[in-house]
Amino acid sequence: QVQLVESGGGLVQAGGSLRLSCAASGRSLISYTMGWFRQAPGKEREFVGSITWSAGSQYYADTVKGRFTVSRDKAKATVYLQMNSLKPEDAAVYYCAATIRGSVRLPTSYDYWGPGTQVTISS
């Protein structure tokens, strides 16, 4: 089992920055890919970015590429999502998730999820 808890959400102005954290506990993450997803009201959950725990390989959705960065701190068992140049359309509940499978862009590939953290953007 892997337990995930997100933090760092809040209200930020458009153009601003926010860093989300995802603290992991439970089993070793060495074989896992950690993903960030978001879901806005009335929309499907969408892939934001991911990072392999072992090698640190990253993948991003085209909508956030160049603005968002996923990183991890192995010692703290924490994954981060640095969000810069935020836009109103980035507002959503952001979720951290973990998977040992491929297809990291698909929510259905992930076995473990955090409860989410709300990000609100003021224009």
What's the pLDDT score for residue 103?
85
**Contact indicator for 13, 36 with CB cutoff of 8 Å:** no
What mean pLDDT comes out for the span 46-53?
Answer: 97
Supply the pLDDT for residue 102. Answer: 80
Residue 123's pLDDT is what? 87
Ranges of H-type helices in the chain: none
Strands (E), 46-114: 46-52, 58-60, 68-73, 78-83, 92-99, 112-113
Q: Is the pLDDT of residue 52 over 90?
A: yes
Q: What is the pLDDT of residues 2-47, one digit of tens each?
A: 999 999 999 999 999 999 999 999 989 999 999 999 999 999 999 9
Cross-sheet strand order for the sheet of 68-73: 2-7, 18-26, 78-83, 68-73
Task: Kindly report, residue by residue over 67-117, the tens digit of the pLDDT.
Answer: 999 999 999 999 999 999 999 999 999 999 999 988 899 999 999 999 999
| Rounded Cα gap, residues 34 and 71, in angstroms | 10
Tell me, what's the pLDDT at 69?
Answer: 98
